[in-house]
Structure 1
Amino acid sequence: MELDSLHVLKNLTTLSLSFNKLSLLGKINSSGSFPNLTSLSLASCNLSEFPQYLQNLEKLIYLDLSFNNIHGFVPQWFLETSKETLLILDLSHNFLTGFDQSSLVLPWSRLLTLKIDSNRIQGLLPVPPFSTVSYIISNNSLTGEIPPLICNQTLLQVLDLSKNNLSGQIPECLGNMSNSL
């Protein structure tokens, strides 16, 4: 499917192409592409990299790039995508190895759900934004200890760290989250 043909749809708010037998072709570089898009589902669309046009989307609430063939680091520019609006992000079932950033906490200020399970993420556990309710990062290659900063997640209800290579002690403060977690 040629994406270039869709960029004329200026009023488009929701686009879901997931789990078809589609391969997305072409690149949209125009900063005016999809100015009103709030929901984008591209799961299982044979993507091999983060689509560049995502960096021009400022109103996304929901983004699903799961079950693709995206390899390597999550690029720095992607961490700026819809930073103030994104609520749900699914990057699961790819070949991601980590985040291309140095911040301790991921930047999306209103994020509720973050799914990055079933990738190849290495290194220390990335800390989700403090707004996060559900954080699923199982089946990766994380190492080191669970950072105590995770206990600042006062809204966290679901935390799945299973099938990693974490070590050390579980922070005591996680036990204090028994009313929500």
Structure 2
Amino acid sequence: MWYLLGSNNNIMGKIPSFICELHSLNTLDLSENNFNGSIPPCLGNLNSTLSDLNLRQNNLSGGLPEEIFESLRSLDVGHNQLVGKLPRSLDHFSTLEVLNVEGNRINDTFPFWLGSLQKLQVLVLRSNAFHGPIHQASFPQLRIIDISHNHFDGTLPSEYFSKWIAMSSLGTDEDQSSEKYMGGGFGYYSMVLMNKGVELELVRILKIYTAIDFSGNKFEGEIPKSIGLMKELHVLNLSNNAFTGRIPSSLGNLTALESLDVSQNKLSGEIPQELGNLSFLAYMNFSHNQLAGLVPGGNQFRTQPCSSFEDNLELSGSSLEEDCRDIHTPASHQQYETPESEEEDKEVISWIAASIGFVPGISFGFTIGYILVSYKPKWFMNPLGRNNRRRRSTPTH
């Protein structure tokens, strides 16, 4: 079993062809370099052995090869310049657990056909040109899905999440194994995910970690009530869409939920009082909707900043009236000056989470090792200066 690990070395040029002759290669990691050109078709020679392929953060162009790798467990080509559609041959790769194509220029419809993959656990389509409605699929083992910042639209049926079994219960024999993280050995999996309002880079992904991010699309209609079946869900982000109607009270069933963002929609009615009983809900954002009525009185709600409720003209509650007198004023009507230095502070915060776990009894639920890599607020002065790690910009939609 061979491992070729060449990540983060600033290597330029095309992917060398000699790699295609390494017939016992199990893991190939060429991420965070400056490789250009297309993914060489000759990598198909490694069909029978290659299980983990990581080419993220390069300058690769062209499309994904139709004949990729039959034995892949993980495929990560995020943050390149890939175009075209997802190869339909992917639905034949019964071993595939992780598919990450974020930050490219892929123009396709929602790959509902990937629901046939019984082992698929992580699906990341973030920041591409995917479009159209997202048809219902079973996804029996899916635990993390990020389809944010695309052009998906339409409504989601009330029963949309009813067949996502792994997010409803993680009590299978497989989940009780001694291996806590997805992947193994050198083949561990990583990804970037919005969590609690910041970008987290999960250096290793716990098997029990679950997240849904549908933000930054054009979804309409009501939030499906079946979301309440996702009892093992930790992160839910539905922000920046056009959802209408009430926030479903079934969200009160998500007892493991730690981060909830439904901001920048057209939601109306009250915030369900059931959410006040979610003891692990450390971050929430209801801002820029049309919500009304009393804010739930749970302890978690009392600790939220005023910005979590702003621009909802008819929200009320004792804590809002005392501490958040200006939240009902739309941002466009507020008068203030933003110094140039504060404009710089609007850069994205990227946290590197070296160890993320769900710890019962702790309100935050995660154990997080973190490093500030692209943010320098006034209260944090780093004598070493900014970290200059190269980042790809998100494609413009």
Deviation at 1:99, TM superposition (A): 4.8
Find the counterpart in structure 2 of residue 172 from structure 1: 273
Deviation at 1:167, TM superposition (A): 0.7
Amino acid at match of 1:40: L
Q: CA offsets per residue over residues 70-104 of structure 1, 9 Å max, x none? A: 2221112xx22x32x11100010111124554416
Distance 2:165 2:107 in 1: 26
Q: 3-state DSSP class of the match of 1:54? A: helix
Find the counterpart in structure 2 of residue 116 from structure 1: 214
- Whether 2:262 is the aligned partner of 1:161: answer yes
Amino acid at match of 2:150: N
Q: 1:90–1:30: structure 2 CA closer, same or farther, 3 Å change rule?
A: closer
Q: CA offsets per residue over residues 92-130 of structure 1, 9 Å max, x none? A: 011112455441644312231000000011111134322
Find the counterpart in structure 2 of residue 144 from structure 1: 245
Q: 1:25–1:135: structure 2 CA closer, same or farther, 3 Å change rule?
A: closer
Q: What is the correspondence of 1:23-172 to structure 2 with a 5 Å cutoff?
A: 23-25=83-85, 27-29=87-89, 33-43=92-102, 44-51=104-111, 54-76=114-136, 79-80=137-138, 82-83=139-140, 85-99=141-155, 101-103=157-159, 105-111=161-167, 112-127=210-225, 128=227, 129-172=230-273
Unaligned 5+ segments in structure 1 are none
**CA RMSD of superposed structures (Å):** 2.1
TM-score w.r.t. the length of structure 2 is 0.41
Distance 1:164 1:140 in 2: 5
Contact 2:85 2:107 (C-alpha < 8 Å) held by counterparts: no
Task: Indicate the structure whose relative CO is greater, using CA pairs within 8 Å and at least 6 residues apart.
Answer: 1
Determine what percentage of the aligned residue pairs are the same residue.
31
Aligned pairs, number: 173
Unaligned 5+ segments in structure 2 are 1-62, 168-209, 282-397
Q: 1:157–1:98: structure 2 CA closer, same or farther, 3 Å change rule?
A: farther
Contact 2:97 2:120 (C-alpha < 8 Å) held by counterparts: yes
Distance 2:247 2:143 in 1: 24
Q: CA offsets per residue over residues 127-163 of structure 1, 9 Å max, x none? A: 4322211000100001111111111111111110111
- Whether 2:77 is the aligned partner of 1:17: answer yes
Distance 1:105 1:53 in 2: 16
Amino acid at match of 1:47: N
Q: 3-state DSSP class of the match of 1:96? A: strand
Amino acid at match of 2:83: S
Q: Which runs of 4+ in 1 moved over 4 A?
A: none
Amino acid at match of 1:3: P
Distance 2:100 2:126 in 1: 9
Distance 1:113 1:157 in 2: 10
Q: 3-state DSSP class of the match of 1:167? A: strand
Contact 1:30 1:53 (C-alpha < 8 Å) held by counterparts: no
Q: 3-state DSSP class of the match of 1:174? A: helix
Distance 1:52 1:24 in 2: 17
Amino acid at match of 1:48: D
Contact 2:145 2:211 (C-alpha < 8 Å) held by counterparts: yes
